């Protein structure tokens, strides 16, 4: 019971951070979840929390979504998320995490040191970023940081960035969660009782995160995203 309460409380604070950075709910919550449960159950529960979190962000920022950018990222994400979810029990995830961590640390550190640097906001890069983030989300539940690395290049206003990122993540979750259910990666279904509590914590966290976001200027927001990407990479590596 105490472990479940800690998990829910942490998820609330994670929802706030993820609303500000545009990603991070999986990156931050999966390591906490695996302290209390097996990895596959953790990936599934955090995927559900991720889905709740992004659903509320979409509802609150609906009129800010950049649908052109969403389509460029979203379609490759859907396809690759299905593939990643199917491969979760085949590919060694530790190797994938290390490669991802090195990229995130290098990209974010270089971008912070060189503020004028950005990946070009082209269709190819959008498709590449969407494909990689979807694959990693399906495989290890950690696709948000790589998506943010590419999405930040499109220089969207902060509300549009958060809304569009949430929409991309939403369609990825719609793909991977049913796949997890079909492949029955959760062995102990008693953990399903946590889902309503995760729903409430996601909603509360997004509400507070939205209020904080309104008080941050665009340049500060960009730095927050890049620092979050850097920390995500360091955490994955170590």
Structure confidence by residue, pLDDT tens digits, 14-70: 898 888 877 777 777 877 787 788 878 888 999 999 999 999 999 988 999 989 888
Domain that holds residue 75: 2-237
Q: How many domains does the chain have?
A: 1
221 CB-near residues (< 8 Å, 6+ apart): 20, 158, 161, 213
How many CB atoms within 10 Å of residue 199?
Answer: 17
Burial of residue 164 (number of CB atoms within 10 Å: 0-12, 13-18, 19+): buried
| pLDDT tens digits, one per residue of 86-127 | 776 676 666 666 766 776 677 677 767 776 666 677 788 888
Length of the chain: 238
């Amino acid at each position: 019971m105490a472990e479940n309460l800690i998990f829910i409380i942490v998820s609330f604070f994670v929802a706030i951070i993820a609303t500000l950075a545009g990603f991070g709910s999986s990156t931050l919550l999966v390591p906490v979840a695996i302290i209390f449960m097996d990895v596959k159950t953790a990936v599934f529960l955090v995927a559900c929390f991720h889905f709740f979190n992004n659903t509320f962000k979409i509802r609150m920022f609906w009129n800010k979504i950049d649908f052109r950018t969403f389509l460029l990222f979203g379609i490759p994400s859907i396809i690759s998320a299905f593939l990643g979810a199917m491969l979760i029990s085949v590919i060694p995830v530790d190797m994938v995490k290390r490669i991802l961590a090195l990229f995130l640390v290098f990209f974010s550190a270089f971008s912070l040191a060189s503020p004028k640097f950005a990946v070009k906001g082209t269709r190819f890069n959008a498709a590449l970023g969407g494909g990689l983030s979807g694959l990693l989300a399906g495989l290890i539940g950690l696709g948000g940081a790589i998506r943010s690395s590419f999405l930040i290049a499109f220089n969207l206003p902060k509300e549009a960035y958060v809304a569009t990122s949430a929409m991309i993540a939403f369609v990825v979750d719609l793909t991977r969660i049913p796949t997890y259910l079909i492949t029955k990666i959760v062995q102990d279904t008693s953990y399903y009782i946590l889902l309503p509590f995760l729903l409430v914590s996601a909603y509360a966290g997004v509400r507070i995160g939205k209020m904080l976001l309104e008080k941050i200027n665009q340049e500060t927001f960009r730095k927050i995203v890049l620092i979050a990407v850097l920390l995500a990479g360091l955490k994955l590596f170590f």
